Every structure is written in C-alpha cells, then in structure tokens.
Structure 1
Amino acid sequence: MSKIHPIDVILHKRDGQELSRDEIQSFITGVVDGSITDARIASWLMAIFQRGLSRRELADLTSAMRYSGETFDSAPLGKFTVDKHSTGGVGDKTSLLIAPIVAAAGLADPMISGRSLGHTGGTLDKMETIPGYNTQLSLEEFGRVLAACGASMIGQTENLVPADRILYALRDHTGTVESPNLICASIMSKKLASGLNGLVLDVKTGSGAFMRRDEDARHLAELMVATGEASGTKTVALLTRMNEPLGRFAGNWVEVWECVDILRDRSHPLSADLIDLSITLAGWMLFLGGKAESADEGKLRAAALLHDGSAYAKWIEMVRLHGGDVSVFKNPAAHHRPAAQRVLKAEHAGTLTGMDCTEVGWAVQRLGAGREVPGGPVAAHAGIEMHVKLGDRIEAGQPMITLFSEEGALLDTPERMLRETLRITHEPYERQPMVRAVIAAADL
C-alpha cells in the first residue's frame, strides 16, 4: 500500500467523499504513533462532524480504533461472552446487578467500564467505594477472574484502544463530542476490544440523557447495532426512559448499597424500576447467549437468578477476586458515613409531574459525587436518596429527597438546584413505559 498523506484524508472527508478502508486505517495509525499533529486530527474530526460517515466508513473506523492497541481474547474462556453498555444516566447502576446475573446463568461478562462523565455517574467510581476493590487489572488478570467466576468489572487499560483516548480528548476541545458517528466509534471500539460475542445497548432518552430526543437516541442506537453486527457481534439496543433517577439512590457507595440489598432479595419499593430494567437487559443478554429461547424467557430466568441468591453468590466471588472486602455487604447502610445530610421537603401539596433529570445529576455531582477536574477524586458517600417518583401524590412537608455530602458547605447549592427543578402541580400525570423501543439487526 502506498503512503497515504493525512492531508488527503482530511480533504477527501471535508469535500464529502467516502474514505477508503486504507485511508481510515492509515489515519488512525498516525493518530496512535504520533505522526499526525493534533491540528490535523482536529480538522479531520470536524470534517466527520460536518459531513458524517457512511455505515461502511463507520464500521472501518470502529475496527481501526478497536485494533489500535491490545485486545482481550475471550476464546480461552470457552463461554459466550456478552456485555451491556449504557449511554449514561442518573442513578444508573444496572451493571452491578447484570454482571452477576449473567455469570450465574453460565455466560461470561467482561465488563470494561468508565468513570463519571458530565452529569452522569461512573461504574468504576462506584466499585472503588468497596474497600480493597481493584479496578485496574491487567488483561491477563482480567481473564483469570473471568475464568474463575464469569464476571469482572475493570477500567480501560493503558494500551486498550489508545486511539479512542486521543480522539476523545480532542473531541472535547473541538466541539465534536455530539457527533453520533464519533460517539458510536468510541463506544463500540472499546466494547468490541473486550472480545464480545454479544452486546446489549441501553440507549437513554429523556431529560437525564445525553440524547434527549427519541429520534436522536434511535439514530445512535441504529448506528451502534449496525456497527456491532458488521463486526460479527450479536447486537441489540433498547431505548429506555431517563426522566428521573433510576432506583432509590444516586451517588457512589449509596448505589452499591442499593444493589447489594437487591442482590440479597431485600429491595426497597423505590428500586422497582431499577430491578425491572436490569432483568430486562439481562434477559436480552441471556437470549443472545443461548440461555433462553426469547428475551421474555431470559427476563424470567434473570429474575429467578436475582431472587434465589445465585447472582449474589457471583457478586461476592467477583468482589473477592478483585481484592474487595465483602464484610461491608453484611450491613451496607452502616458503611454509609456522610459528614452532613439534609432533607428537602415539599413546600405544597400536589403531584410530582416533572424534573430536569440532568439538573438532578449535576446536583449529585456538586455534592461531591463527581469530579471538579479530570482525574480528581470523588466522594464515596456523597449522593441523594429519592423518596418519591414521578406521578406520586405529594403532601406539604413530605420528605422528597435526602442529600448526602462529605462537606456540609456543599449542601446549599445542590438543594437549591433540586428544589428549583422539581415540579409539583395539580396536573394529571401518565406514567411512561421504561422501554420505549427495541432495535435489532432485522430493524435496520
């Protein structure tokens, strides 16, 4: 193959031409080896943002990024490997329930997770509130944990999809973060690099989602399903509602606490939506992995594994193999030690008919659950407890949200943000289904 100059690749895309596989591969190679300048990478990203990519270009870009560094070989596990990815929400802790359910069903879930991003929480931040839990395993260690118990939750290794780290940092500085094609390539390259046979995507829509409009979420879901299928990975996407925090808690340790209670079959009524979504997603994973004849049957089996203690046994095994102290699960409420807390009460009676869930997420982050600067610390015990759900009847003076922080001075601004965004009216409220649509290869 003759040398392809990066300027030619930039100009071809700028002018609306379809890039060849060789052009895309050459450019990504140059991104990783440092031979292409940040200015040229930024220009190429903007050209993609403005001109878009064909399905074939997107598949080639995802593949080039996927193989830009080391990848995980799941074949030695001898099991169908399947994972779930969420586009991000508030109180979205389904991964903590799904991974042990899937492992208990006899599949393997190699879950490479992320940290908090914007107003949304991060799985790694939650897991690291478990004393001793190590999220930074090598791929060899990752494989050993998966072979032993069928589930492992780690962070991205230094050499896994290095192209994505470089491109993502520049997207953040060039106004190209919102590109559906670049979002898809970023998500799918990391997921596919973990050697998946199957992938279930939870694409959020609503006031707490990055893609607020259903049509935008559907477009992204279709791109990701097509890209996954083109790579040989069975892929399905669910469009799910994110107009209020999922479950009872939003934060870091409090979300672990909620999931441990569910795994021990002693869940709170306000966790019902979290449980239903988790077993729905797990049901699709069991179906893709051949452990159920349909997604509905998979959901029933997932529920049984959750309630009979099988998933909890896998959770304990996984945490131990990661070096975590499982004694904290005996009484997770006692391990919750915020320095300050405050209860937000309703000022008048009515029905809770709405909120800006993104604003709720930012309030959680400002309590200390998120990062002030990239790479900064997060507070393990910051967060909120929801006492009400959309559609609930509210009485004056009724507790609506409890705020937790490790610094008392951090309570005022989040309380104001929450009070301003909660809408208590006398209007009727119609509850919406959690799953708005299912998108599979046959639908494309």
Structure 2
Amino acid sequence: MSEKAAPVPHMIDLIRRKRDGGVLDARDIGFIVAGTASETIPLEQLSAWLMAAWLNGLTIEETRALAIAMRDSGEKFNPSRLGKQAVDKHSTGGVGDKTSFLVAPLAAACGVAVPMISGRALGHTGGTLDKLDSIPGFRSALTLGEFEEVLEQCGAAIVSQTPTLVPADRVLYALRDRTGTVESPGLICASILSKKLAAGLNALVLDVKTGSGAFLRKRADAEFLGALMVATAEAAGTRTVALMTDMSQPLGCTAGNWIEVAECVELLRGGSPAGNEDLRELSLRLAGWMIHLGGKTETAEQGYWAATGALADGTGLKIFFEMIKAQGGDLAVFDDLKASHKPGATLVLEAWRNGYVAELDTMELGWAVQRLGAGRERAGEPVDPHAGIEFHARRGAQVERGQPFATLYATNETMLAEPLERIKRAITFSNEPPDEVPLVSHIFARENAERYLRETASSS
C-alpha cells in the first residue's frame, strides 16, 4: 500500500500556526519561500506571516530552514574558478557603518577574493549600495558573469542581488522594512546568510552590532543573533566568526552616503581625521579575520598586521579604485573630496551646553540622517547622496557651549528642523567623562556559538 502524499500547505494555515506560537517544518518554510520567489503568495499574506514570525520568533530549526530555502530560491555564484578562498564580511547594520569600503580592498590586497553582495538602507541604518551610488556611474547591478570578471580583475566586488540571486530574500527584505519586522534575530539571520551562502563563500566574518544604534538593542538579543548566525553558517559548511562590536555611537565621524565614502578614501590614502580611530581599528580587525579565515595567515592577529601593511603601502587604495573603475565609477570624483560634496542645505549645530558627551541614542541619530534625505521611507524611493551628518564631538569629548558639535547636510532647508531636534534629544551630557566601551566585546566561533545556543535553549 503506497503512502499518501503529504497535503500541499495553505498559506493562511501557516500564518495561523505561526501566529498561535506553533512551529513550521522545513517543508512549510520551503513552500513560503517558493511562493515568495515566484510571487504566487500575495504580499499581504507574506506581511502577516512576517509579523507572526516577529512576534513569536523563529526557532533555530526554522531559521536554518529559511536561510537554506532562500539560498536555493535562485541562482548561486561559484567562486571556485577564481583560484582563491572566497571570504566576505557582513554587518548587521548601524549608523555610519562603512567598513565594507575598507575591509574589501584590504583583504583582497592580502590575497583573498571578496565577493560582497550588499543591500540598501533599511530602517534607521544606511545602505552600502546607496553609498556607492553616490559615485557617478557606479554600477552595483551586475550579472553573475560581470561579477566574476570584476573579482578576477580586482580581487573584490560589491554588488546588489541580481533578479535571479536569492529572489525570495529581495521580496522579504523590502517587506520587512515596510512592515516594522526588521528587528527579529531569525529573520535577520536568514536574510543575511541566504545571500552570503548563495555567493559560495569559503568563510564569513560577521560584525554584529550592540548598543543604542543596533537593530537589536538588548545585549542578549544581539548575542543570540551572533551565535545563531555562526552556528547556521557553519552547519551549511562555511567557516564563520562573529565579532560583537559597539554601536553606542556612530562609527567614524560621518553618517550619510557620499561623506562616508569620502571618509574611507581619506583613510585609505593614509589620513587619520580626528574622530574615526574606531572606524580604522574595527576595519583592520575585521579584515584580519577575513585574511586569517582565507588561509593567508595562521592567526587573526597576523591578519590584522597584514591588513595594516596593505593600508600603509597604498595597495588597499589601489584595489578600491580599481574596483570602482571596473564597476563603471568615475574616479575623477575623488580628486577633490570636498568639492565633490554638494548638499542642498548646510547647518552647523553648536553645542548647547558645557560638559562631556556621555551617551548617544544612536538609533535616533540614524533617523535624523534619514530625515535629512539620506534614507528612504518606502522601498524604491531615491536617496540624496549628499545628505548626512558630520560629527565634530564624539562620546567622551569635553565640549563648551557654542563650539561646533555637528554639521547637518540636507536636501533642502525645510528638511533641517526635525533632524536638528532629533540630535538634541539623542545626546546626554554629564559633568564627568563616561566609562569607556570596548570596540569588540566578544567573538563567537563555532564551538562557543553552539554552546551558547544550547545553554540559552536549556534556560528558556
């Protein structure tokens, strides 16, 4: 007697089950992902399922099933023909988070291939591709063949998802931004890893943000996400580490689009503007792990010093410019970084009291950047490449009333008022300097990530 075929799932049943706290199996998850990629499931049903998943959370098994199903929802890139270990870095998102423009060329300069598939602005955070779009002529929408050509030529490429690469995530990523379902460890993990696994990576370095500017502001939630991503990627055969890094203030001294690219180019040229020591240090540590996992050094510390050498001798800058040119960017824009910055309106915000900069609500600062014109409220909206904020005082700085605190760049003068108030609300001053916060507080590798997840599950 033959076994009966399992009934085809119905989306409304899966929504109800997740809404009521139930668990979906890999077949159910596969059904949702296939319907997302083929656009046969209505967006309102996908939105309802995302909200149910956000409210009740995804189990470890559901998360792994979702990441793998989305990875397999379209074409996959095979970097084996490059003859190098393919290693990438991904950040969970923050304000002023621009390390990709440093780690990609520095790691490539040290002999690994960096096939980086990036995204656009999401919520209060900026998008790597929006920042690169501020470079005239730059093309992020490459075919897989063009992607491979740039990698062969430069060692690094930063591109968007193609229509055929992880199509299910492209739909769900945009929906999460519009439905208030971004801050979910399971959904974040599956979204990030589906793209990274589809790139055929040998190794992956994750930058998991903690603090007031992170998507997951609770420390325990961020640690769970870091451990979950490491364990999920390792289970799929990709060597992975996660660095838990500080996002209790913007990274570096700029947040926007063009001004972030310009800040990175200054660093690659050997400059060290005051206020971006954290950007330089974190980029070197991330690149060091990439170089180590790519088999070029025995330890991550040796990788750090290799990256430092590539920064000092200019090979990182050379590769960055080669990548920009290979992807259609006009290098003339880098001849005079200040002249290439053309905001519609500028306002210098002066410190409104004496004291030390004690705390920053970095998420609020991210929304201020967005409201200036650098981000978007709806998918597909254009962003202003020249909007953003340059910070002249950072956490721990002692300021006097009347000195420049930040410079705001907006699309037009009418867009300055709300961000100005948001910045003032976001800053707390004190009479004493605040305690220092470590830039990297913890590192998850496979063994301690799996142990952390086991201990978390047993205590819940």
| Structure 2 length-normalised TM | 0.91
- Map Cα deviations across residues 295-349 of structure 1 (whole Å, 9 max, x no partner): 1111111111111101001011111101111122222122112232111111222
Structure 1 residue 311 corresponds to structure 2 residue 316:
yes
Of residues 275, 285, 302, the one that matches 2:280 is 275
> Is residue 55–residue 226 contact of structure 1 (8 Å, CA) maintained in 2?
no
Distance 1:49 1:393 in 2: 41
Distance 2:317 2:342 in 1: 24
Structure 1 residue 2 corresponds to structure 2 residue 5:
yes
Structure 1 residue 65 corresponds to structure 2 residue 70:
yes
Structure 2 vs 1, CA of residues 177 and 122 (structure 1 numbering), >3 Å: closer, same or farther?
Answer: closer
Of residues 277, 291, 296, the one that matches 2:296 is 291
Distance 2:31 2:182 in 1: 23
Of residues 113, 117, 120, the one that matches 1:108 is 113
Q: Which residue does the alignment assign to 1:233?
A: 238
Structure 1 residue 252 corresponds to structure 2 residue 246:
no
The number of aligned residues is 444
Of residues 186, 208, 216, the one that matches 2:191 is 186
Structure 2 vs 1, CA of residues 330 and 175 (structure 1 numbering), >3 Å: closer, same or farther?
Answer: closer
Identity of aligned residues (%): 52
- Map Cα deviations across residues 340-362 of structure 1 (whole Å, 9 max, x no partner): 21111112221111121111111
3-state SS of paired residue (1:333):
coil
3-state SS of paired residue (1:290):
coil
Unaligned runs of 5+ in 2: 451-460
Structure 1 residue 78 corresponds to structure 2 residue 83:
yes
Distance 1:251 1:228 in 2: 31
3-state SS of paired residue (1:269):
coil
3-state SS of paired residue (1:93):
coil
Distance 1:16 1:423 in 2: 40
3-state SS of paired residue (2:73):
coil
3-state SS of paired residue (1:246):
coil
Deviates more, 1:37-46 or 1:96-105: 37-46
Q: Which residue does the alignment assign to 1:98?
A: 103
State the Cα RMSD in Å. Answer: 2.1
Distance 2:433 2:76 in 1: 52
Of residues 186, 199, 218, the one that matches 1:213 is 218
Of residues 89, 108, 111, the one that matches 2:94 is 89
Deviates more, 1:385-394 or 1:322-331: 322-331
**Residues 160-175 of structure 1 aligned to structure 2 (within 5 Å):** 160-171=165-176
Shift of 1:416: 2.0
Distance 1:352 1:10 in 2: 46
Shift of 1:247: 0.6
Structure 1 residue 301 corresponds to structure 2 residue 283:
no
Q: Which residue does the alignment assign to 2:454?
A: none
Structure 2 vs 1, CA of residues 314 and 366 (structure 1 numbering), >3 Å: closer, same or farther?
Answer: same
Structure 1 residue 129 corresponds to structure 2 residue 153:
no
Of residues 191, 200, 203, the one that matches 1:198 is 203
Unaligned runs of 5+ in 1: none
Deviates more, 1:162-171 or 1:70-79: 162-171
Q: Which residue does the alignment assign to 2:408?
A: 403
3-state SS of paired residue (1:6):
coil
Report the AA paired with residue 370 of structure 1.
G
3-state SS of paired residue (2:393):
coil
Distance 1:255 1:213 in 2: 27
Shift of 1:97: 0.5
Deviates more, 1:18-27 or 1:221-230: 18-27
Structure 2 vs 1, CA of residues 434 and 139 (structure 1 numbering), >3 Å: closer, same or farther?
Answer: same
> Is residue 258–residue 267 contact of structure 1 (8 Å, CA) maintained in 2?
no
Report the AA paired with residue 436 of structure 2.
R
3-state SS of paired residue (1:403):
strand
Report the AA paired with residue 406 of structure 1.
T
Structure 2 vs 1, CA of residues 305 and 223 (structure 1 numbering), >3 Å: closer, same or farther?
Answer: same
Deviates more, 1:116-125 or 1:420-429: 420-429
3-state SS of paired residue (1:375):
coil
Deviates more, 1:102-111 or 1:8-17: 8-17
Of residues 318, 330, 335, the one that matches 2:335 is 330
Distance 1:86 1:176 in 2: 18
> Is residue 4–residue 23 contact of structure 1 (8 Å, CA) maintained in 2?
no
> Is residue 92–residue 207 contact of structure 2 (8 Å, CA) maintained in 1?
yes
| Structure 1 length-normalised TM | 0.94
